[in-house]
Amino acid sequence: MRWMRTLALLTLAVALPLGVQASGPEVLVLKATAYTSSVRETDSTPFVTATGARTRFGIIAVSRDLLGSDLPYGSKVKIEDLGEWRTGRGKGRFDAMLKDVVFVVEDTMHKRKRQQIDVWMPDRSLALKWGVRRVRITVLQRGR
């Protein structure tokens, strides 16, 4: 009887496609900052991401610990604003700007950053208004 249960489990495991999550999309709560295409915030090619894509709203950079596991290049995510990082104040302040955008992981943050994303912004004043926030990331599609 035990061997039949083992055989059934093995058959089920082989029949299911790899990477299918029965529990729904993956959700992460992370620290989020913002950056622009300024040489003082990036490298010598401020309008080109680590993957070679051109910067635009909808591009995010991720810390290297996330890049290797949870959010590889090409991952598509939705972002929900949970407020300021330390206090939680201002929850939803940026939701109107974020709600219809599917963000794509195309860039990498400095190696000292951990468990964090960086949202590309078109200008410095908007990036400064964003500040340091807590966000909920819903992974729609895992990248390569």
Give the pLDDT of residue 1.
Answer: 53
Rounded (10°) CA dihedral 125, 131, 135, 138: 40
Q: What is the pLDDT of residue 8?
A: 47
Ordered structural domains, the chain, with CATH:
24-141 (2.40.40.10)
pTM, rounded to two decimals? 0.79
pLDDT at 121 over 90: yes
57: DSSP letter: T
pLDDT of residue 61: 97
pLDDT for 44? 82
| Per-residue confidence (pLDDT) for residue 29, from 0 to 100 | 98
Chain segment 55-109, per-residue pLDDT in tens: 999 999 999 999 988 999 999 999 999 999 999 999 999 999 999 999 999 999 9
**pLDDT classification of 23: cutoffs 50, 70, 90:** low
* DSSP H stretches of helix in the chain: 2-15, 64-67, 95-98, 124-130
Query: What pLDDT does 79 receive?
Result: 98
Q: pLDDT at position 100, please?
A: 95
Average pLDDT across the chain, whole number: 86
CA angle 45, 140, 36 (to 5 degrees): 25
